[in-house]
């Protein structure tokens, strides 16, 4: 594994840790019972509206918990399994699935709830960056083959 590939894996790992932290904060607020001023910047930017809506859970599982699990899986791929030949493809598949789910949730924020969550938008940026870096890893791998 060359140094550029190692740096990309490290960047993905750092972004995945950041994503897990953002998702953990979101999960904490999901279960909060009182209104918070955290992330409340008027009626258009309010994490409480988003985090406590009917769309904040899928089959009873909080979306933030799904996010934590996804980011931990990406972290494991970028660190523990980085030497395996299939890891770039798995990173790309997993991050693309996460990005698609995040785009769906962003659509819900924009066109159904009419409110934005700073934590959710942060997660969108993080998973987008991970997807781009995973694409670079796949491209590097394909050049070697």
Cβ neighbours, 10 Å, residue 9: 22
pLDDT given for residue 36 in this prediction: 67
pLDDT given for residue 56 in this prediction: 94
Domains in the chain, start-ordered, CATH in brackets?
A: 3-144 (1.20.1440.130)
Q: Any residues with CB less than 8 A from the CB of 52 and at least 6 apart, and which?
A: 30
| 60 membership: H or E segment, kind and range | none
10-residue block means of pLDDT along the chain (145 residues)?
A: 92 98 93 74 83 93 97 97 92 98 97 94 98 97 83
3-state secondary structure of 62: strand
Q: How far is CA 72 from CA 20, 23, 45, 56, 75, in A?
A: 7, 11, 27, 20, 5
pLDDT given for residue 115 in this prediction: 93
Q: Which of 121, 93, 127 is nearest to 107 (CA)?
A: 121
């Amino acid at each position: 594994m060359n140094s550029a590939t190692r740096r990309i894996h490290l960047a993905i790992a750092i972004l995945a840790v950041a994503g897990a932290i953002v998702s953990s904060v979101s999960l904490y607020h999901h279960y909060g019972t009182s209104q918070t001023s955290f992330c409340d910047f008027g009626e258009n930017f309010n994490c409480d509206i988003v985090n406590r809506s009917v769309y904040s859970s899928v089959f009873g599982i909080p979306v933030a918990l799904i996010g934590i699990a996804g980011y931990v899986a990406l972290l494991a791929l970028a660190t523990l399994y980085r030497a395996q030949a299939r890891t770039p493809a798995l990173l790309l598949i997993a991050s693309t699935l996460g990005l698609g789910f995040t785009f769906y949730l962003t659509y819900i924020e924009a066109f159904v709830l009419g409110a934005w969550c700073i934590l959710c938008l942060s997660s969108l940026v993080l998973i987008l960056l991970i997807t781009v870096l995973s694409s670079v890893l796949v491209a590097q791998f394909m050049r070697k083959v």
